[in-house]
Amino acid sequence: MTEINRLCLGCMNEKESDGPCEKCGYSNDAPYLPSYLAPGTILNDRYIVGKLLSYNGEGATYIGFDKVTGAKVTVREYMPDTLCSRKKGDPQIVVDANRLPLL
């Protein structure tokens, strides 16, 4: 079983030493875009969020790790940039009520 504290947050493989990952070169302390989840964020006490893979106007996709199954996963976050924002370091999304469309 993979030791969680030894995971590379860039590829979700177990690292053999401190420093950059031997497999992908990612460093777990690499800077990240503040509008998105920080690598290492835990969701629902089950999923470890890794590196941001892609983003667009409707959300973001991250590499992830399922602590229950021990499998690599993809985490998709719905976060339309015309309605939502996030403060750096805070996993919570803030919805701007002034920007909600009237239905």
Domains of the chain, CATH where assigned: 4-94 (3.30.200)
Of all residues in the chain, the percent with pLDDT exceeding 70 is 93
Helix (H, G, I), strand (E, B) or coil at 6: helix
pLDDT tens digits for range 31-71: 999 889 999 999 999 999 999 999 998 999 999 999 999 99
Euclidean distance between CA atoms 25 and 59, whole angstroms: 26
Report pLDDT for 102: 57
- Which residues lie below 8 Å from residue 4, measured CB to CB, with a gap of 6+? 48, 65, 67
Mean pLDDT of 70-91: 89
Mean pLDDT of 77-96: 84
C-beta neighbour count of 12 within 10 angstroms:
22
